[in-house]
Amino acid sequence: DAGVTQSPTHLIKTRGQQVTLRCSPKSGHDTVSWYQQALGQGPQFIFQYYEEEERQRGNFPDRFSGHQFPNYSSELNVNALLLGDSALYLCASSWGRAGSGWETQYFGPGTRLLVL
């Protein structure tokens, strides 16, 4: 049973460019969340997708957008890259019933983005 997979593993971009990161959830999961982890910090929630719609969003600008496909995989897009966007981007999947408080999230290994 494959866990959460992310691609690519590493990426280098320059300021002003756009980037797309991809995530495939764990088998049987239908909800995908994205997190940004700066060096030395804990992950910060960007947004969550369920039933192909953004269900909840953290405190991130509109430059960060996403999409969920019918097969539950997801993309994270970041436009107009800034140096401060350099971070590890983590994808997590879970089963979609909202608001139980106890369901666990399964994380992928992340995509490390470096913006020069």
Partner 1 sequence: DAKTTQPNSMESNEEEPVHLPCNHSTISGTDYIHWYRQLPSQGPEYVIHGLTSNVNNRMASLAIAEDRKSSTLILHRATLRDAAVYYCILRDPGANNLFFGTGTRLTVIP
Is the dihedral angle over the CA atoms 32, 103, 98, 30 positive or is it negative? positive
Binder to partner 1 among 17, 56, 77, 79 (CB under 8 A)? 56
Contact call for residue 27 and partner 1 (CB under 8 A): no
CA–CA gap between residue 107 and residue 99 (Å, rounded) = 19
Between 28 and 99, name the residue whose CB sits nearer to partner 1: 99
Strand, coil or helix: what is 101? coil
Residues 32-51 that bind partner 1 (CB under 8 A): 33, 35, 40-45, 48, 50
Contact call for residue 4 and partner 1 (CB under 8 A): yes
Residues 66-85 that bind partner 1 (CB under 8 A): none
**Cis bond before residue 8 (omega within 30° of 0):** yes
Other C-beta atoms closer than 10 Å to the C-beta of 49 total 26
Q: Are 109 and 93 in contact (CB under 8 A)?
A: no
Binder to partner 1 among 87, 90, 113, 115 (CB under 8 A)? 90
List beta partners, residue 93: 32, 106
Contact call for residue 28 and partner 1 (CB under 8 A): no
What residues line the site for partner 1 (CB under 8 A)?
A: 4, 31, 33, 35, 40-45, 48, 50, 55-56, 58, 90, 92, 98-102, 104-110
